[in-house]
Amino acid sequence: MPAPKRKPATPAPSAPVANTRASKLEKLGLRSDMDLVLHLPLRYEDETEVIAIRQAGMMGTSVAQVEGVVTACNIQYRPRRQLIVTIADDSGQLVMRFLNFYGSQTKQLAVGTRVRARGEIRHGFFGAEVVHPNYKVVLEGAPLPDVLTPVYPAGEGLSQVFLRKAIADAMQHIEWRDTLSPAQLAAQQLMPFETAVRLLHNPPPEVDEHALEDRSHPAWVRMKFDELLAQQLSLKRAQVARRAKNARALPVVGQLSAAFLATLPFSLTKAQQRVVAEISVDLCASFPMQRLLQGDVGSGKTVVAALAAAQAIDSGYQAVLMAPTEILADQHFRKIAAWMEPLGVRVAWLTGSLKKKEKLASLAMIESGEAQLVIGTHALIQDSVQFAKLGLVIVDEQHRFGVGQRLALRNKTTSENGGGDAAEKSAAAVAPPVVPHQLMMSATPIPRTLAMTYYADLEISVIDELPPGRTPIVTRAVDQMRRDEVIERVHAAVQDGRQAYWVCPLIEESEALQLQTATETYAMLVEALPDLRIGLVHGRLKQAEKQEVMDAFSAGACHVLVATTVIEVGVDVPNASLMVIEHAERFGLSQLHQLRGRVGRGSAASVCLLLYQSPLGHIAKQRLMTMRETTDGFEIARRDLEIRGPGEFLGARQSGQAMLRFADLTTDQWLVDRARDLAQTLLQDPTAANQATVSAHLARWLGGREDFLKV
């Protein structure tokens, strides 16, 4: 009797497998059939041909496939443990060497088994040899594939065989219709979508392999073009949507701006004047500004931000400035309050560490509109913060915030349209909400090509000039064995009336460990430099304690500041001229550049010493070399892009997701330009046909994933 019951039960155990596969596919971003079809091969393997072992051994080091029968299979222990398998065909024999292997491979490759092996076959001392070939066990006479074998990007636990099948299935179900018309294809000289996709998944034997490899093949060009077109379309649409929103025009450049400029102890550089003017024009518009202010560390972005705030205040609105750390927010508060309070501006201060009473007082000032300028940290995006008349949002070091955090601040309701009495509320429901202008600032320069494609809905201002009188920072890489000499340098700098930072290594896995190293370094320096006053600042200190240390350092009462990366961004103590970075090999380029930017802010010649532990890996070596060779943030960003690639560069956290899978901004700029032009044409001329093209194209390429564009 139980027998009939078993059948319907069988699908159940297999369901979890399907689920985990689905979740693994999901990890790769593959949710729909179209996603699968657009999951294109990373590369191909040519398994269409088998050549004689003798011939393969003489080909130098190119990749070849051979077939033979196993004549020996042994584990060797010297000079290291490895699996050595010899196969032979009529022409000769080949030694296959596996340095990593499973015990089961000795059984799989037992003497007498026939295998096909593919790899870089070299002619070694003992004849033909190959290390870690791809291989499979075959029966004699097994047919060879007649197309190149695609190799797909695969996550852990997803086999190529599974992906191939899933993609082949999906290809049966999708809507193949081309999103571009025959005329458009002809004008752009593009291959039809279906032809391109089918070719990439199953390239015919006669295909130009090199063109596939370097992705210059017309099929690849079509894919890249489509991807870029989708991106340009959605970015442009975001731009149009933004321009349709309302913002308060803040047109008054009046008394406050003028008085502020007059009291500044310096005059603005040309670059500062230019960006101030650009921002000022934007603030006059009645749609929201969305501008990124890029300027290398020390280029003077703070004063530009203050001037933008002054314009908002002059026009009768509030401005808010958010910084990623308390130290930085506090520094801005002091500096800007010192500039503005004498001019009668009320500045409020809001961070997480405020006492309840102080916090309530700040909140009340913000809500009543008494506070004209508000400065703080993430605390500003909490629900309890209500602005009376928010006109301008400024985010410093914007790359340190997630997209969500930046949006939260911009979307802050203002009591003039969100709060207020019921009548006002219903009026607000009719009128579109008013969005504040937004100014983002960053010293991590985004190379121009990236900026154009990833942030097309962003106006960009660049400060490309440092204030006068700065002497360039000299950077040296020093083996940490020579730490004593470095300590001597610190001593000498202080004797000269200067101050120094000593930054402790980044230990990503463990904050506790980072803290420990900081404490130990502090103790070491206190002992080695008994005549100097040394301070220690790290993330675990209470805000007041941090403040005390930072104050002592700013005032020059403390000579050497031992710090974790909490001081990475923004800190400005012009008298500090020596920066020591421990275990510099652990830091990324932009972080090193940020840290180095803490010195070289005054007129004294500054030095940055990058202590490293040898031996250095290849990438670490490149990074330290770059740091020695240049202090130009844009050049550093460009090299960083080269070393890490755009996905890494923007960071998934930052960009929401790595957006371009196929196009390569370093080589495909020409395609970006063409895609941008077509996007422009399609949107400018909203005929029914064009609109259909736009929505079909966006649906195919982006699905529902347009959120990340709302930077």
* 636 lies in the site for ligand ADP, by CB under 6 A: no
* Stretch binding Mg ion (CB under 5 A), from 98-106, 214-222, 232-240, 569-577: 569-577
Cβ of residue 368: shortest distance to Mg ion, in angstroms?
30
Q: Which does 102 bind (CB under 5 to 8 A by kind): ligand ADP, Mg ion, none?
A: none
Which of 428-433's residues contact partners 24+ apart within 8 Å by CB, and which partners? 431/246, 432/245, 432/246, 433/245, 433/246
The residue among 295 and 646 lying less far from ligand ADP, judged by its C-beta, is 295
Report H helices in 151-254.
160-173, 182-188, 193-201, 209-213, 218-243
CB neighbourhood size of 233 (10 A): 25
How far are the Cα atoms of 206, 331, 343 from residue 256, in angstroms, in the given order? Answer: 72, 21, 7
* 632 lies in the site for ligand ADP, by CB under 6 A: no
Nearest CA-CA partner of 447 in 293, 298, 635: 635
Cβ of residue 546: shortest distance to ligand ADP, in angstroms?
18
| 63-76 and 114-120 strand pairing | antiparallel
Site string for ligand ADP, 467-486 (x = CB under 6 A): x-------------------
Q: Which residue is nearest to Mg ion (CB)?
A: 570
Cβ of residue 295: shortest distance to ligand ADP, in angstroms?
5
| 437-442 and 390-395 strand pairing | parallel
* 660 lies in the site for ligand ADP, by CB under 6 A: no
Q: Angle, nearest 10°, between helix axes 193-201 and 160-173?
A: 160
Cβ of residue 569: shortest distance to Mg ion, in angstroms?
7
* 570 lies in the site for Mg ion, by CB under 5 A: yes
Restricting to residues 388-447, name those near ligand ADP by CB under 6 A.
Answer: 443
- How large is the C-alpha radius of gyration of the chain? 31
* 577 lies in the site for ligand ADP, by CB under 6 A: no
Q: Which does 601 bind (CB under 5 to 8 A by kind): ligand ADP, Mg ion, none?
A: ligand ADP
Cβ of residue 324: shortest distance to ligand ADP, in angstroms?
12
Cβ of residue 399: shortest distance to ligand ADP, in angstroms?
13
Give residues with Cβ within 8 angstroms of 118, minimum separation 6.
Answer: 45, 47, 63, 64, 65, 66, 133, 134, 135
d(CA 613, CA 635): 25
* Stretch binding ligand ADP (CB under 6 A), from 35-43, 84-92, 187-195, 268-276: 268-276
Cβ of residue 298: shortest distance to Mg ion, in angstroms?
8
Cβ of residue 301: shortest distance to Mg ion, in angstroms?
5
Q: Which one among 242, 248, 301, 546 touches ligand ADP, defined by CB under 6 A?
A: 301
Amino acid at 570: G
Element (H, E) at 288: none
Q: Which one among 57, 300, 369, 445 touches ligand ADP, defined by CB under 6 A?
A: 300
- For residue 572 the two structure tokens come to 């400005």
Please provide the distance, in angstroms rounded to a whole number, between the alpha carbons at the two ends of the chain.
63
Q: Which does 591 bind (CB under 5 to 8 A by kind): Mg ion, ligand ADP, none?
A: none
Q: Which does 269 bind (CB under 5 to 8 A by kind): ligand ADP, Mg ion, none?
A: ligand ADP
* 297 lies in the site for ligand ADP, by CB under 6 A: yes
How far are the Cα atoms of 16, 23, 537, 581 from residue 518, in angstroms, in the given order? Answer: 47, 41, 8, 12
Amino acid at 656: G
Binding site for Mg ion (CB under 5 A): 570
| Residue ranges binding ligand ADP (CB under 6 A) | 266, 268-269, 272, 295, 297-303, 443, 467, 570, 572, 574, 601
